[in-house]
């Protein structure tokens, strides 16, 4: 029932992106995101779209698999688009009672919709091509400079990776409990809103219970293996920049410069 959620899941492959250092990937994606909001005309946006298509192609992730993950955010995108179309003031092109569509609105809607889709696409590429462990390592390294001002970098990274790691587990668990309750005649799909919310109780109570229990067990298991936070921890696979990373860094700089230049058009 819930097998379609691919956000936060790793897709094993051997592509250029999979081999890239996680730090490079995180920074590159940050630059991409910033560029995405720097560009302010359709040429720029088209450029960003082309880049993300290229990235998806390089990642060797099956298009079908990739889009299934995007389906989840379809609702948010549609809502944004609708709000932009109807709420932006400007030259009116179509009107029906209180609903009116403006030229600026259409432009804004296309812009925001595309930005949102690209934003989610590129971030899901990050999690799809990076194992949770590599991702945490990367985040931890990047946050290290902030440790001096009291940011618990290691703890934050650990929490994040645990959260990511448990998304699929929780999805699986939800699926299981839903089935068990459906076997007892529970109905999650029909009825009005009040009934639907009520129908969630038999799902949420066991789910929370097992999640807390799991958290407890995980904490004990980690302590039993002498885990005590970030100090003096060494790694099995130390991160190392290679030529690949230099290459990507170069591309990112070009992308950022082009994004800024595109504003001048």
Partner 1 sequence: MSLEMKNVSHIYQKGSAKESYALRDICLNVNEGEFLGIAGHTGSGKSTLIQHFNGLLKPSSGEVIVDGVNINGKEAKNRLKALRMQVGVVFQYPEYQLFEETVEQDIAFGPRNLGLSDSEVQQRVVEAMELLKLSKKLRKKSPFDLSGGQKRRIAIAGVLAMKPKYLILDEPAAGLDPKGREEFLELTAELHRQGLTVVMVSHSMDDIARYAQRLVVLEKGSIKLEGTPQQVFAQPDILSEIGLGVPMLTSLLLELHEKGWDVRTDLFHPEDVKREILRELARRERQGGGV
Q: How far is the CB of 34 from partner 1 (least distance, A)?
A: 33
> Distance between CA atoms of 144 and 154, rounded to whole angstroms?
8
* Residue 94 contacts partner 1 per CB under 8 A: no
* Residue 106 burial (10 A CB sphere; 0-12, 13-18, 19+): middle
Q: What is the contact mask toward partner 1 in residues 145 to 174, using x (rule: CB under 8 A)?
A: ------------------------------
Scan residues 3-32 and list those touching partner 1 (CB under 8 A).
Answer: 3, 11
Q: Taking contact as CB under 8 A, which single stretch among the options 123-131, 159-167, 180-188, 236-244 is the one that binds partner 1?
A: 180-188
* Residue reference for tokens 């925001």: 112
Sheet strands (E) in the chain: 92-96, 99-102
* Residue 47 contacts partner 1 per CB under 8 A: no
Name 124's Cβ contacts closer than 8 Å, sequence gap at least 6: 6, 7, 66, 69, 70
Query: What does DSSP assign to residue 90?
Result: S
Scan residues 194-233 and list those touching partner 1 (CB under 8 A).
Answer: 201-202, 205-206, 209-210
Name 46's Cβ contacts closer than 8 Å, sequence gap at least 6: none
Pick from 37, 43, 65, 241 the residue near partner 1 by CB under 8 A: 65
Cβ proximity to partner 1, 65 vs 241, nearer residue: 65
Reduced to 3 states, what is the DSSP secondary structure of residue 96?
strand
Cβ proximity to partner 1, 177 vs 248, nearer residue: 177
Give residues in contact with partner 1 (CB under 8 A). Answer: 3, 11, 62, 64-65, 176-177, 179-187, 201-202, 205-206, 209-210
């Amino acid at each position: 029932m819930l097998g379609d959620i691919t956000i936060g899941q790793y897709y094993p492959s051997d592509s250029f992106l999979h081999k890239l250092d996680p730090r490079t990937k995180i920074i590159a994606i940050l630059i991409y995101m910033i560029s995405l909001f720097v560009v302010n005309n359709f040429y720029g946006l088209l450029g960003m779209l082309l880049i993300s298509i290229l990235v998806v192609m390089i990642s060797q992730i099956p298009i079908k698999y990739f889009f299934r993950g995007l389906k989840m955010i379809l609702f948010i995108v549609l809502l944004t688009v609708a709000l932009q179309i109807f709420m932006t003031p400007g030259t009116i092109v179509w009107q029906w009672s209180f609903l009116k569509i403006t030229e600026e609105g259409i432009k804004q809607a296309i812009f925001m919709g595309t930005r949102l889709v690209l934003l989610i696409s590129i971030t899901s590429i990050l999690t799809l091509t990076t194992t949770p462990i590599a991702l945490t390592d990367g985040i931890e390294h990047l946050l290290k400079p902030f440790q001096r001002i009291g940011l618990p970098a290691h703890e934050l990274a650990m929490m994040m990776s645990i959260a990511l790691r448990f998304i699929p587990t929780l999805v699986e668990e939800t699926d299981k409990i839903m089935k068990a309750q459906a076997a007892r005649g529970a109905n999650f799909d029909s009825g009005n809103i009040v009934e639907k919310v009520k129908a969630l109780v038999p799902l949420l109570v066991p789910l929370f219970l097992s999640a807390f229990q799991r958290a407890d067990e995980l904490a004990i298991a980690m302590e039993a293996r002498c885990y005590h936070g970030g100090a003096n921890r060494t790694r099995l696979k130390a991160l190392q920049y290679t030529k690949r990373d230099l290459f990507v860094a170069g591309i990112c700089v070009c992308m950022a410069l082009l994004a800024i230049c595109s504003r001048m058009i």
